[in-house]
Structure 1
């Protein structure tokens, strides 16, 4: 029995409320429904310290998948990375799940690229969600906040990393940097590789900074808590990286890291911090 790990990592980052350890973060919640599907989404916005004091200054933008859970701690982590590296603090935006839906149902549909045959659950809505992100979220954010041109960063973990890979391979200019953590490249028998093949057949350029990370313990092993074998996320990430590197895409910057001693959950924090620091280089 192979175990699908998706929801577990979310419990490691906490719900979408203010992180008590991050006094600088004053999140703004903005309702942003999808006019096509009618689903009711929100975004959570954290502005840099001193944002209002220098009205001519612009900032990098970090978009967080799974913002309904990851936003509080990771918006704080982004501030810490910026301070430690003496870089501009980013505007951090977390993406919510659809209101009124179980979070796992929402992300399972919105973050996966293909429908699953013989499944009663909804999958394969990544293209529609990506359209919402490009046509609703990004125009709103860049129309209301001072975002630096050409400094969009996407972060996603697990299914969120799979969503990021789908955006990368179908509309790469949506973001300049993609931080993909423990991506679920195993989904639907590695369907994301088919997207890469189609992209490679039509393009010789892939102008993006792609940053990959995975926990060192995310290998195929028996997990007594789940009473089954886990998927080999390390192998999946290595295969994806090798595939991209073999294409010699013009404009592609590619880097990766295995976070030693961490699993699918515990790799989130150090992986995000390492990835964002790499993005700021």
Structure 2
């Protein structure tokens, strides 16, 4: 009786085991992975590094407009930070801080890449005795210059004179290394928590060599560090750059309150992109600004009053109160913190007839009534 019972139990176990095994191998029951909408993956093999790289790509909203070309934002450590960049870009574009741009995240391809080892290989400029993987930044930078950028430029409608490089930690160290060794390759550099202490502060030697050979760094540079990191070393490095008074260098630094090493990227990348893409102030003659003063009819129940206040225009609306219109040309104006642009129109005699307003998701033409 015991033997029969045992056989029955084993049979039941095997039966349900087969069912569970079948369920475990049923791909229909495996939840799909989350993908970032609107992005794509390309692969490139570097003969310089002898490495396959994955490129995570996000194209701008109006990429299919054949009349446009776009700046490119290059980000290292895409395996971790591309979703963050994608979110930051979308938010800042919506708020009017960033232009339409192509985002390219760079990471390592192949089967089961060891990110820690590969980061130390590609991002560090010198080999140190205690790390056999280190010291490959020169090759990685050559890959970016001679293989990656030509590849991207051949596939997408890019602006060759508008490139941004971003990185954090060892990626921040590499970003500085790139600035001192291939300065003109990018015109914007954004980095957080740079590993300035690598190899006894070797990045200072690259800066010193650069200063001995030239006096210009015609780029925008943003650097941030967390309050709980080694702030003094960061500040000493930044102060040294300021004291050199490099021609063309626009630099901004920030110590982020209450933040540690890994947490600097969200705010740091946001502030950095805002800074490097900040519009250059444009001054319009007061007589021209005064021409735009008057009343504008949006619809029968909605009227806007515009007048000059010093170097700007003020638009008064029934709902939003006073809005400052900042000039970017004699006829084009924008609002900070909003995707809102205004282009004034005139007739053949130069009389202002109205304006075209563009906002996120649409636009309309508004007539001047007096």
Give TM class, smaller chain: 0.7 to 0.9
Where does 1:82-231 land on structure 2 (aligned, <5 Å)?
Answer: 82-100=93-111, 101-117=113-129, 119-218=130-229
Please tell me whether residue 252 in structure 1 is matched to residue 249 in structure 2. Answer: yes
Counterpart of 2:266 in structure 1 is 269
Alpha-carbon distance between aligned partners in 1 of 2:131 and 2:165, rounded to the nearest angstrom: 30
Aligned match for 1:71, one of 67, 82, 92 = 82
Where does 1:25-44 land on structure 2 (aligned, <5 Å)?
Answer: 25-44=37-56
Please tell me whether residue 58 in structure 1 is matched to residue 69 in structure 2. Answer: yes
Cα displacement (A) at 1:98: 4.8
Greater CA drift, 190-199 or 209-218: 209-218
Does the residue aligned with 2:148 lie in a helix, a strand or coil? helix
Does the residue aligned with 1:96 lie in a helix, a strand or coil? strand
Is this contact kept in 1: 2:227–2:255, CA < 8 A? yes
Alpha-carbon distance between aligned partners in 2 of 1:270 and 1:157, rounded to the nearest angstrom: 12
Please tell me whether residue 241 in structure 1 is matched to residue 252 in structure 2. Answer: no
| Distance change (3 Å), C-alpha of 1:249 and 1:81 | same
Instruction: List gaps (5 residues or longer) in structure 2.
Output: 1-32, 279-370
State the superposition RMSD in angstroms: 1.6
Alpha-carbon distance between aligned partners in 2 of 1:36 and 1:187, rounded to the nearest angstrom: 24
Alpha-carbon distance between aligned partners in 1 of 2:190 and 2:62, rounded to the nearest angstrom: 26
Number of residue-to-residue matches in the alignment? 245
Is this contact kept in 2: 1:97–1:107, CA < 8 A? no
Does the residue aligned with 2:166 lie in a helix, a strand or coil? strand
Counterpart of 2:35 in structure 1 is 18
Alpha-carbon distance between aligned partners in 2 of 1:17 and 1:189, rounded to the nearest angstrom: 42
Does the residue aligned with 1:151 lie in a helix, a strand or coil? strand
* Structure with more relative contact order (C-alpha pairs < 8 Å, separation 6 or more): 1
Does the residue aligned with 1:80 lie in a helix, a strand or coil? helix
Greater CA drift, 234-243 or 196-205: 234-243
Is this contact kept in 1: 2:98–2:273, CA < 8 A? no
Cα displacement (A) at 1:120: 4.5
Is this contact kept in 2: 1:83–1:89, CA < 8 A? no
Instruction: List gaps (5 residues or longer) in structure 1.
Output: 1-15, 20-24, 219-231
More strand by share: 2
Counterpart of 1:223 in structure 2 is none
Which of the two has higher C-alpha Rg? 2
Cα displacement (A) at 1:57: 1.1
TM-score normalised over the length of structure 1: 0.83
Counterpart of 1:221 in structure 2 is none
Does the residue aligned with 1:37 lie in a helix, a strand or coil? coil
Counterpart of 1:48 in structure 2 is 60
